[in-house]
Chain A
Amino acid sequence: MYGLVNKAVEGLVCDKFGQETWEKIRAKAGIVEEHFISNESYPDDITYRLVGAAHEVTGLPVPAILSAFGEYWVLETAQKGYGHLLKAGGNNVGEFLRNLPNFHARIILMYPKLQPPKFKVSDATEKSLILHYISDRPGLADFVVGLVTGLGKLFATPVQVEHIAKKAEGADHDEFRVSWS
């Protein structure tokens, strides 16, 4: 994953628990890098180790950490880094999610070494849609839940996210029913 992701993990931990806790997590994860470079590609293993160490140090369950990280990613990392560009992804949650496949296609242009997940949208109505999340990286479905929840907050629209198909339980890929009022 790009350093941007690991920097976001660092930012979340420092914001919620302080610098000292981050240093403990970094040490526990055996990470030698003092700083992550946003546009540099790092092994996925580093991110997984950081999440595992965060669970051990903070005592929070891994799904809660991933979900919080998803929200943080949208509301802090992407918002600060890309600002209006992120909001320009759509005028509302539904439009943004429908544009999500294009949004990720653009990310490939920016980060050529990135292997981003694929998103697809189906069954779209005015107030709901099914979001298909197709990724080779295991265990990150809760991160998507956090992302979508964060998007709802970005557009000031409370959303409900229901994990209706789980790859971890044998499904072809993860599916989420996203609805808003």
Chain B
Amino acid sequence: MANNATKMGMEQEEFEAAFPYHLLLDNQLQIISIGHVLARTDETSVAGKNLHDCFEIIRPDGIKTYEDFCANSRTLFIVRQRKTDLTLRGQFLARANSNQILFLGSPWVTSSDDLARYNLTLSDFALHDPIIDLLSLAQAKNAAQQDIVRLVDRLKEKTQLLQETNAVLQTNNSDLTKARDEAQAATQAKSEFLARMSHEIRTPMHGMLSMIDIMGQKVLDAESKNYLDVMKESSVSLLSIINDILDLSKIEAGKIEIDIAPFDIDHLLLEVKQLYWAGAQKKGLELRIASPPEAKTFTGDAGRIRQILTNLVSNGLKFTERGYIEIRATYLTDGDPRLHFAVTDTGPGIPEDKQHLLFQNFSQIDGADNRKHGGTGLGLSISKTLTQLMGGRISVESQLGKGATFHVEIPTKCLDHHPQLAQEMAANEVCPLPSKRILVVDDHPINRRIIEFILKKQKVDFVLAESGEQAIDILKEQPIALVFMDIQMPGMDGIETTQKIRAGNSPPEKLPIVAMTANALKGDRERFLAAGMQDYISKPFKEDDLMNLIRKWSAT
């Protein structure tokens, strides 16, 4: 062995330290020398013993003789120490000049337990031998694998938790959906109830107001007239509140309809002025209107615009004690053409921090306002919604003590340069009264009394029917030029009656039918037209509106 070490330029001790598992064999495979660690693991593996007695050659197969080893010097050998089962890996190097073979290798340990089993320590391995480092690396990888297993377990736990949470959420979601549907159904029911109740209230209100008007035309003493004025004022106020509630319920039910038609701006402003002129006079306020000088005829829903303006003027009147209320309309053509209405009052003004509350439902700046000035607190909210439905916008500008100005902008088209449309409008305005009889169908006796009074006063020939069946009988017996048809009637309603009239071959050009309803909702107009009607009038109606419709349809 000293020979080997010397030839490699190493001291014996250094060779032993570098190759603690070596074997040097002669050509009879007798052990000449053995590494000190290998000798320690099995004290019977000693010099002089035959290799095959102490070790088993696992790989390659069939290695028996010195020549076999020499022929496989570039083959990986797996050798097992018979007594200890310690497995070594390495190679047999043939030393041709000396008829010797040298095994250089090291133990194959795959776990740290192997070290304990063979009683090996780190010092038993040469520092150049990477087997311990590979073992450490394997241990580190094991730790990583344990991490993965642990994390996968946690992931499974979390996934299960997530699934359970999802199930709870789905249940909650289902409950929420159910609650939302129930809330929507309740809102819908509330809106429908409000609409129905409003209708029920408006019908007798219509009767009261009409009778008050009729009484007002009689000769009365000053005291009675005073009482009558109070009655009318109270009735108008009540009707206004009912209208607000009806509008709100229509808005909530999505049943508001915008009717775009030509209208005259001067006429519209005048109507609003006439409505509030007396009230302004009474408070010593000036009520001014100003319209655009360059244009007069526009498209838009005049009824809804009037409603917005009356809301704003009515508010101004409530809060202004001295000064004036002004409605100034201007036609703006920068950008999309639109009508701008500025409603200004010289009232107390609105604090800046309260202005955002103005357009909310049931909002009044101060609870005391409600008690002092009355009203539902719905007017501005409804005005805002109506403005938005018309594609416009509404805003307020105010300073405390300096009054307020509400700005409303509504998209429009100016028709002053459209002679055909203007002519059509003009034609509608001057129609003669009918020479033939008209038929009024209404189940409600008060409504019949009202219309009877108006028609008698206007000297229009008419006949009344209490039901659809009676109306059909009258039509069979008498020549009729125009029919006013109530919609909601017990038994055969207005729609069915109209369908029967049309089925009996009464074409629209021969017999126009106008619907009368106290509660026209979105879609009703289409329903009336589909049933064979030509127009409709909302109850309670004004005498002028009724007469205009009679003129319009008598002319056809």
Chain A interface (Cβ < 8 Å from any Cβ of B):
3-4, 34-35, 37-39, 81-91, 95, 99, 102-103, 106-107, 109-111
Across-interface contacts of B144 in A (CB, < 8 A): 37-39
Across-interface contacts of A88 in B (CB, < 8 A): 112, 115-116, 120-122, 132
Q: Is B154 an interface residue (CB 8 A)?
A: yes
Across-interface contacts of A84 in B (CB, < 8 A): 112-116
- Smallest distance from the beta carbon of B41 to chain A beta carbons, Å? 14
Q: Is B369 an interface residue (CB 8 A)?
A: no
Q: Is B211 an interface residue (CB 8 A)?
A: no
Encoded as 1 (CB less than 8 Å from any A CB) or 0, chain B from 117 to 140 comes to 000111100010000110111011
Look across to chain B and name the residue whose beta carbon is closest to the beta carbon of A98.
B123
Q: Check if A109 sits within 8 Å of B136, measured CB to CB.
A: yes
Which residues of B23-71 are within 8 A (CB) of A? none
Q: Please report the C-alpha to C-alpha distance between residue A107 and residue B132 in the assembled complex, in whole angstroms.
A: 11
Q: Is B147 an interface residue (CB 8 A)?
A: yes
- Contacts beyond the supplied A88-B115, A91-B121, A111-B140: 19 A-B pairs with Cβ under 8 Å: A34-B154, A35-B147, A37-B151, A38-B147, A39-B144, A39-B147, A81-B143, A82-B112, A84-B114, A85-B135, A87-B116, A88-B112, A90-B122, A95-B121, A99-B123, A106-B133, A109-B136, A109-B137, A110-B136
Q: Is B456 an interface residue (CB 8 A)?
A: no
- Smallest distance from the beta carbon of B411 to chain A beta carbons, Å? 55
Q: Is B373 an interface residue (CB 8 A)?
A: no
Which residues of B479-512 are within 8 A (CB) of A? none
With A35-B151, A37-B147, A39-B143 as given contacts, are A85 and B136 in contact (CB-CB < 8 Å)? yes
Instruction: Identify the 7 closest CB pairs spanning chains A and B, nearest first.
Output: A85-B112, A84-B112, A84-B116, A88-B115, A38-B143, A83-B112, A84-B115
Q: Check if A106 sits within 8 Å of B132, measured CB to CB.
A: yes
Chain B interface (Cβ < 8 Å from any Cβ of A):
112-116, 120-123, 127, 132-133, 135-137, 139-140, 143-144, 146-147, 150-151, 154
Q: Check if A89 sits within 8 Å of B143, measured CB to CB.
A: no
Across-interface contacts of A82 in B (CB, < 8 A): 112, 136, 139
Enumerate 15 A-B pairs (CB-CB under 8 Å) in ascending A order.
A37-B144, A38-B147, A81-B143, A84-B114, A84-B115, A85-B112, A88-B112, A88-B122, A90-B122, A90-B123, A95-B123, A109-B133, A109-B137, A110-B133, A111-B140
Look across to chain B and name the residue whose beta carbon is closest to the beta carbon of A109.
B133
With A38-B147, A99-B122 as given contacts, are A83 and B113 in contact (CB-CB < 8 Å)? yes
- Smallest distance from the beta carbon of A35 to chain B beta carbons, Å? 6
**Complex partner residue of B127 from A81, A102, A111, CB under 8 angstroms:** A102
- Smallest distance from the beta carbon of B412 to chain A beta carbons, Å? 60
With A38-B147, A82-B136, A110-B133 as given contacts, are A102 and B112 in contact (CB-CB < 8 Å)? no
Q: Please report the C-alpha to C-alpha distance between residue A34 and residue B115 in the assembled complex, in whole angstroms.
A: 35
Across-interface contacts of A3 in B (CB, < 8 A): 147
Q: Please report the C-alpha to C-alpha distance between residue A6 and residue B133 in the assembled complex, in whole angstroms.
A: 23
Q: Check if B115 sits within 8 Å of A85, measured CB to CB.
A: yes
Across-interface contacts of B154 in A (CB, < 8 A): 34-35
**Complex partner residue of B139 from A81, A91, A109, CB under 8 angstroms:** A81
Q: Please report the C-alpha to C-alpha distance between residue A34 and residue B139 in the assembled complex, in whole angstroms.
A: 24
Across-interface contacts of B120 in A (CB, < 8 A): 88
**Complex partner residue of A85 from B123, B127, B139, B151, CB under 8 angstroms:** B139
Q: Check if A4 sits within 8 Å of B143, measured CB to CB.
A: yes
Q: Please report the C-alpha to C-alpha distance between residue A4 and residue B121 in the assembled complex, in whole angstroms.
A: 24
- Smallest distance from the beta carbon of A52 to chain B beta carbons, Å? 25
With A39-B144, A83-B113, A102-B127 as given contacts, are A89 and B136 in contact (CB-CB < 8 Å)? no
Of A34, A86, A88, A109, the most chain B CB neighbours within 10 A belong to: A88
Q: Please report the C-alpha to C-alpha distance between residue A106 and residue B140 in the assembled complex, in whole angstroms.
A: 12
- Smallest distance from the beta carbon of A103 to chain B beta carbons, Å? 8
With A35-B151, A85-B135, A89-B122 as given contacts, are A110 and B140 in contact (CB-CB < 8 Å)? yes
Of B113, B114, B133, B147, the most chain A CB neighbours within 10 A belong to: B147
Across-interface contacts of B147 in A (CB, < 8 A): 3, 35, 37-39
- Smallest distance from the beta carbon of B358 to chain A beta carbons, Å? 48
**Complex partner residue of B137 from A91, A102, A110, CB under 8 angstroms:** A110
- Smallest distance from the beta carbon of B519 to chain A beta carbons, Å? 62
Q: Please report the C-alpha to C-alpha distance between residue A39 and residue B115 in the assembled complex, in whole angstroms.
A: 24
With A88-B120, A90-B123, A109-B133 as given contacts, are A39 and B140 in contact (CB-CB < 8 Å)? yes
Across-interface contacts of A4 in B (CB, < 8 A): 143
Across-interface contacts of A99 in B (CB, < 8 A): 122-123
Across-interface contacts of B139 in A (CB, < 8 A): 81-82, 85
- Smallest distance from the beta carbon of B170 to chain A beta carbons, Å? 26
Across-interface contacts of B137 in A (CB, < 8 A): 109-110
Across-interface contacts of B133 in A (CB, < 8 A): 106, 109-110
- Smallest distance from the beta carbon of A99 to chain B beta carbons, Å? 6
Q: Please report the C-alpha to C-alpha distance between residue A103 and residue B123 in the assembled complex, in whole angstroms.
A: 11
Q: Please report the C-alpha to C-alpha distance between residue A87 and residue B116 in the assembled complex, in whole angstroms.
A: 9
- Smallest distance from the beta carbon of A130 to chain B beta carbons, Å? 21
Q: Please report the C-alpha to C-alpha distance between residue A84 and residue B138 in the assembled complex, in whole angstroms.
A: 13
- Smallest distance from the beta carbon of B159 to chain A beta carbons, Å? 15
- Smallest distance from the beta carbon of B86 to chain A beta carbons, Å? 15
Across-interface contacts of A85 in B (CB, < 8 A): 112, 115, 132, 135-136, 139
